[in-house]
C-alpha cells in the first residue's frame, strides 16, 4: 500500500534536502559568511575607533546583510539549473512545496548569517544594543521578507542571461521597503530612548505576508510553462 | 483625432502659461507643476495598465497582451523620467536643491527602479513566450508591492525623521482656476499617452 | 493508478520562425505504447513534453481522460512519470537519498525495504550508499528507471530510455515497459532506436 505524503511533508523534504546538500558542500553558507566578514572588516578598518550614530550603524548593518543576500541567495534555484536537477524537480515535484521549501531554506541561511554577523558587528563597531528583543524581531521579520522575495525572483531568472547583475537589479526595488523599515527599526534598537516602534514593525510583517501570498500565487506561472 | 489632440494640447498650454495666476511664494514657477503632476500621474497609470495587461497575458497567453504591456511600460518609463526630472528642477528652483528624498521623490524614484528592472529582465530573456510570461510575473509582483512603496513608505519612513519640512508639491495651495487647469493638463497628458500607445500599435513591431 | 487516455488535436509548435510541426493528431487509450520517431531535430522530445504538459503548444489542444471523465492538466501532472536524458540527480546525495527525496516530493512515502527492493531490481543495490558523484551514466539511467518504477504513475514519458545501458539494462527497460502496458499504463516513447520501436504498438513518425 502506498503512503501518500502531504504538502507539509514535501516542504519538509525539500528543506532537509537543501540543508543536507549544503552541509555536504558548504558552498552557499561559506560564500555568505566570507562576503559579510570581508565587507564588515573593510568598514571597521576604515572607520577605526570613530563613534558612529545609531542610524549610520543600522544602515551599515543592513547594507552588509543585503549585499550578502544578493551574493548568496539566488543559488537556491540557479544551482538546480546548472546541475540539471531542476528537470527532475519539475517532473516529479509540485510547485508550491518547492517554493515554500526553498523559501524556508533561504530563511534559515539568512538567520545563520545574522547570527554570525551581529556579534561581530557589535564587537567591531563598538555598538550597544538597547532593545534586544526589538532587534531580534526586526531581524526575523527582515530575513523573512528578504527570503520570500529573493526566492521568488531567483526562480524568475533561471532562464535569463547575466543572472548575477540581473538578480540585484530586480530585487532591489522590491526589497527596499524591507530595508528601509529594518534600518529604521534597528536604529531604534541602537538608541537608548524607549521607542514606540510598533507601527513600522507591523507594516514589515504585513509586507512579508503579502509578498509571501503573492509569491505563492505567481510561482505556478513561473514553474510551469 | 490627431488634430483634435493638438488643438486640445495647445489650449492647455495656453491656459497654463496665461490663465494660471501667480501662486503664493512660488510665482511663475508653479507652471512646472502643471507639467510635473500630470506626467507623474501618467507614469503610475502606465504602470497599472502594464500590470493589467500582464494579468491578461497570464490568463489568455495572447502575445498581443504582452506587447501592449511592454509598450505601456516603455511609455511609462519615459513619463517617469520626465516626472523625475521636472520634479528635480522644480525642487531646485523652489527650495534650492535637486533631490531631498521627500515622499513624492521616493515614490517616483522607486517607480523608476521598477521600470528599469522590468526592462532589464525583458532584455535578458530570448524566447518571446518565456519573456512574456516572466515579465508578466514581475510586473504583477511589483504591482503588489506598490501600495507599500507609494503610500506606506513615504508617510511612515519619512515622518519619523523630521527633516526641515520643505513644501511637498502635493500640498500646493490651489484655487479653483488652478485646479481646473490642472485637470485640463491631466486629461491632456493622459490623452497623449493613449495616443502614443495606439501609434505604437500601428507601427510594425520590432 | 488510473487508466488514462490521451487525445491531441492539431498540435503545432514553433520556436520563433522555426516551425516544428503543423498539425499533429493522435489518440491513445490506456495500456498502449506509442513510439515517436524522427530524425534529430524533428521535435520528438518536444512533442513528448507538449503531451506531458511541460511545454505549451503554439496551437492545438490536448485532452486527458480517466474513467471519471476529463482530467485537468493539474491532475494529469500528478500522474506522469519521466525517463529522459535531461533528468539529473543530486551528486552529493546517495542513490537511496535521491530516491527517497524524489519519491517523497512526488507524493510517495517509501519505506526502507521498498527502496532496497527497487534498487535490487535495477541492479544497483551494491551502490545504494554511494554518492551519485561516483555513478556512471549507465548507472544513473538505471536509477532513473528505479525512480520511475517507484512513483507508480499512470502515464510514462520515455526519451531514449535504453541509451547508455548495457544489455542487462536494456532487458530491464523492455520488461518494465511490457509490464506497464499490461498494467494499463499509457506509454509514450521518443526514440530513434529500432529495438525500442519494437516495444510499441503504434508509431508516430515525425519528419
**ipTM metric:** 0.91
Q: What is the pLDDT of residues C92-101, one digit of tens each?
A: 999 999 999 9
> Bigger pLDDT: B179 or C130?
C130
Give the least confident one: B6-15, B134-143, C18-27, C47-56.
B6-15
Query: Can you tell me the mean pLDDT for B164-193?
Result: 69
- Has residue C108 been placed in a domain? no
Within 8 A of A203 by CB-CB distance, chain B residues are 148, 152, 156
| Ramachandran angles phi, psi of B164, nearest 5° | -55, 110
Output the pLDDT for position B115.
Answer: 94
- CB–CB contact C16 B127 (8 Å): yes
Alpha carbon distances (Å) from C136 to A179, A190, C139, C159: 47, 56, 5, 19
B127 touches chain C (CB under 8 A): yes
Q: How confident is the model at residue B170 (pLDDT cuts 50, 70, 90)?
A: very low
Q: How confident is the model at residue B168 (pLDDT cuts 50, 70, 90)?
A: very low
Find which of C1, C58, C107 to mutate to test the A interface (most A CBs within 10 Å of its CB): C107
- Compute the distance between CA of residue A165 and CA of residue A151 in angstroms, rounded to an integer: 16
> Bigger pLDDT: B31 or A183?
A183
- Has residue C158 been placed in a domain? no
Measure CB to CB from residue B138 to each of A170, A172, A207 and give the nearest one.
A170
B59 touches chain C (CB under 8 A): no
- Has residue A1 been placed in a domain? no
Domain count, chain C: 1
Residue B82 cell numbers, joined:
520626465
A169 touches chain B (CB under 8 A): yes
Instruction: Give the rounded distance of the alpha carbon of C174 from its chain centre.
Output: 13
**If you measure CA to CA, which chain C residue comes closest to A87?**
C87
B128 touches chain C (CB under 8 A): yes
- Has residue A182 been placed in a domain? yes
Coil vs helix vs strand at C20: strand
pLDDT of B1 higher than 80: no
Query: Can you tell me the mean pLDDT for C111-123?
Result: 90
Query: Can you tell me the mean pLDDT for B149-153?
Result: 78
- Compute the distance between CA of residue A141 and CA of residue C48 in angstroms, rounded to an integer: 44
Within 8 A of A91 by CB-CB distance, chain C residues are 54, 80-82, 84, 87
- The percent of chain A in helix, strand and coil, each rounded to the nearest 5, is 80, 0, 15
| Ramachandran angles phi, psi of A192, nearest 5° | -65, -30
Output the pLDDT for position A186.
Answer: 93
Within 8 A of B127 by CB-CB distance, chain C residues are 15-16
Q: What is the pLDDT of residues A125-150, one digit of tens each?
A: 888 888 899 999 999 999 999 999 99
Residue B15 cell numbers, joined:
491656459
- CB–CB contact B152 A162 (8 Å): no
Q: How confident is the model at residue B167 (pLDDT cuts 50, 70, 90)?
A: very low
Chains that touch A (3 or more CB pairs under 8 A): B, C
Number of CB atoms found within 10 A of residue B11's CB: 12
- Compute the distance between CA of residue A135 and CA of residue A129 in angstroms, rounded to an integer: 8
Residue C197 belongs to what domain range? 1-79+192-207
pLDDT tens digit at each of 225 positions of chain A: 455 668 899 999 999 999 999 999 888 888 889 999 999 999 899 988 888 899 999 999 999 999 998 988 989 999 999 999 999 999 998 899 999 999 999 999 999 999 999 999 999 988 888 889 999 999 999 999 999 999 999 999 998 888 889 999 999 999 988 998 999 899 999 988 877 768 888 989 999 999 999 999 999 999 998
Residue A135 belongs to what domain range? 7-223
Nearest to B182 by CA among B94, A35, B190: B190
User: Of all residues in chain C, what percent carry a pLDDT higher than 70?
Assistant: 100
Q: How confident is the model at residue B194 (pLDDT cuts 50, 70, 90)?
A: confident
- Compute the distance between CA of residue C85 and CA of residue C102 in angstroms, rounded to an integer: 16
Name, of A51-55, B135-139, B155-159, C74-78, the range with top average pLDDT. B135-139
What is the nearest CA distance from B204 to chain C, expressed in angstroms?
Answer: 17
B130 touches chain C (CB under 8 A): no
Measure CB to CB from residue A177 to each of B124, B127, B153 and give the nearest one.
B153
Nearest to C185 by CA among C31, C71, C27, C7: C31
Output the pLDDT for position C92.
Answer: 92
Output the pLDDT for position B136.
Answer: 96
Find which of C14, C16, C17, C18 to mutate to test the B interface (most B CBs within 10 Å of its CB): C16
- CB–CB contact A218 B140 (8 Å): yes
Q: How confident is the model at residue B202 (pLDDT cuts 50, 70, 90)?
A: low
- CB–CB contact B129 C56 (8 Å): yes
Within 8 A of B127 by CB-CB distance, chain A residues are 159
For chain B, the structural domain boundaries read: 2-10+29-162+175-200
**Which residues in A have their CB inside 8 Å of a CB on C?**
2-5, 9-10, 13-14, 17, 20-21, 24-25, 83-85, 87-94, 97-98, 224-225
CB B119 within 8 A of CB B76: no
- CB–CB contact A169 B120 (8 Å): yes
- Has residue C30 been placed in a domain? yes
Residue position matching grid coordinates 495500456: C31
**If you measure CA to CA, which chain A residue comes closest to C147?**
A92
Q: Domain with C73 in it: what CATH number? A: 3.40.50.300
Q: What is the pLDDT of residues C166-207, one digit of tens each?
A: 999 999 999 999 999 888 899 999 998 888 888 888 888 887
pLDDT of C136 higher than 70: yes
What is the nearest CA distance from A17 to chain C, expressed in angstroms?
Answer: 7
Amino acid at each position: 500500500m502506498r503512503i501518500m505524503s502531504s504538502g507539509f511533508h514535501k516542504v519538509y523534504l525539500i528543506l532537509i534536502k537543501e540543508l543536507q546538500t549544503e552541509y555536504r558542500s558548504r558552498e552557499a553558507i561559506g560564500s555568505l559568511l566570507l562576503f559579510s566578514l570581508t565587507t564588515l572588516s573593510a568598514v571597521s578598518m576604515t572607520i577605526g575607533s570613530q563613534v558612529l550614530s545609531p542610524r549610520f550603524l543600522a544602515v551599515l548593518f543592513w547594507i552588509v546583510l543585503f549585499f550578502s543576500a544578493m551574493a548568496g541567495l539566488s543559488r537556491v534555484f540557479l544551482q538546480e539549473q546548472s546541475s540539471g536537477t531542476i528537470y527532475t524537480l519539475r517532473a516529479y515535484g509540485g510547485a508550491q512545496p518547492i517554493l515554500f521549501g526553498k523559501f524556508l531554506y533561504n530563511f534559515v541561511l539568512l538567520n545563520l548569517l545574522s547570527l554570525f554577523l551581529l556579534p561581530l558587528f557589535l564587537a567591531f563597531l563598538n555598538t550597544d544594543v538597547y532593545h534586544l528583543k526589538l532587534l531580534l524581531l526586526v531581524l526575523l521579520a527582515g530575513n523573512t521578507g528578504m527570503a520570500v522575495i529573493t526566492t521568488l525572483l531567483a526562480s524568475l531568472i533561471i532562464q535569463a542571461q547575466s543572472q548575477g547583475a540581473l538578480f540585484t537589479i530586480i530585487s532591489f526595488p522590491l526589497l527596499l521597503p524591507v530595508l528601509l523599515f529594518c534600518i529604521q527599526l534597528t536604529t531604534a534598537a541602537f538608541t537608548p530612548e524607549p521607542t514606540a516602534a510598533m507601527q513600522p514593525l507591523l507594516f514589515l510583517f504585513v509586507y512579508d505576508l503579502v509578498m509571501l501570498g503573492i509569491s505563492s500565487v505567481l510561482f505556478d506561472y513561473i514553474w510551469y510553462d | 483625432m490627431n488634430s483634435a489632440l493638438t488643438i486640445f494640447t495647445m489650449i492647455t498650454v495656453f491656459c497654463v502659461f496665461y490663465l494660471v495666476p501667480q501662486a503664493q511664494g512660488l510665482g511663475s514657477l508653479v507652471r512646472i507643476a502643471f507639467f510635473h503632476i500630470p506626467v507623474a500621474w501618467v507614469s503610475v497609470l502606465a504602470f497599472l495598465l502594464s500590470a493589467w495587461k500582464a494579468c491578461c497575458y497570464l490568463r489568455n497567453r495572447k502575445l498581443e497582451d504582452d506587447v501592449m504591456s511592454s509598450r505601456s511600460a516603455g511609455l511609462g518609463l519615459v513619463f517617469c523620467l520626465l516626472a523625475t526630472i521636472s520634479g528635480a528642477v522644480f525642487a531646485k528652483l523652489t527650495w534650492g536643491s535637486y533631490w531631498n528624498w521627500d515622499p513624492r521623490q521616493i515614490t517616483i524614484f522607486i517607480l523608476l527602479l521598477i521600470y528599469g528592472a522590468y526592462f532589464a529582465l525583458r532584455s535578458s530573456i530570448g524566447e518571446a513566450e518565456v519573456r512574456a510570461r516572466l515579465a508578466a510575473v514581475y510586473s504583477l509582483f511589483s504591482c503588489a508591492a506598490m501600495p507599500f512603496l507609494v503610500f506606506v513608505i513615504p508617510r511612515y519612513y519619512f515622518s519619523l525623521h523630521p527633516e526641515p519640512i520643505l513644501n511637498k508639491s502635493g500640498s500646493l495651495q490651489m484655487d479653483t482656476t488652478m485646479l481646473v487647469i490642472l485637470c485640463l493638463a491631466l486629461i491632456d497628458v493622459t490623452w497623449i499617452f493613449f495616443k502614443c500607445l495606439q501609434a505604437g500599435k500601428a507601427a510594425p513591431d520590432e | 493508478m488510473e487508466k488514462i487516455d490521451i487525445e491531441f488535436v492539431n498540435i503545432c509548435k514553433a520556436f520563433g520562425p522555426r516551425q516544428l510541426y503543423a498539425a499533429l493528431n493522435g489518440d491513445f487509450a490506456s495500456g498502449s505504447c506509442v513510439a515517436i520517431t524522427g530524425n534529430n531535430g524533428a521535435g520528438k522530445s518536444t512533442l513528448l513534453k507538449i503531451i506531458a504538459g511541460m511545454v505549451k503548444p503554439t496551437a492545438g489542444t490536448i485532452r486527458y481522460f480517466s474513467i471519471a471523465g476529463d482530467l485537468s492538466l493539474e491532475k494529469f501532472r500528478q500522474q506522469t512519470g519521466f525517463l529522459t536524458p535531461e533528468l539529473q540527480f543530486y551528486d552529493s546525495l546517495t542513490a537511496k537519498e535521491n530516491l527517497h527525496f524524489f519519491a517523497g516530493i512526488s507524493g510517495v512515502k517509501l519505506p526502507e525495504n521498498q527502496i532496497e527492493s527497487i534498487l535490487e531490481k535495477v541492479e544497483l543495490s551494491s551502490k545504494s550508499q554511494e554518492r551519485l558523484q561516483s555513478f556512471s551514466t549507465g548507472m544513473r539511467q538505471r536509477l532513473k528507471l528505479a525512480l520511475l518504477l517507484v512513483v507508480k504513475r499512470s502515464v510514462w514519458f520515455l526519451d531514449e530510455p535504453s541509451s547508455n545501458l548495457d544489455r542487462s539494462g536494456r532487458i530491464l527497460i523492455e520488461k518494465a515497459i511490457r509490464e506497464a502496458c499490461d498494467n494499463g499504463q499509457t506509454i509514450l516513447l521518443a526514440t530513434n532506436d529500432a529495438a525500442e520501436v519494437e516495444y510499441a504498438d503504434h508509431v508516430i513518425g515525425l519528419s
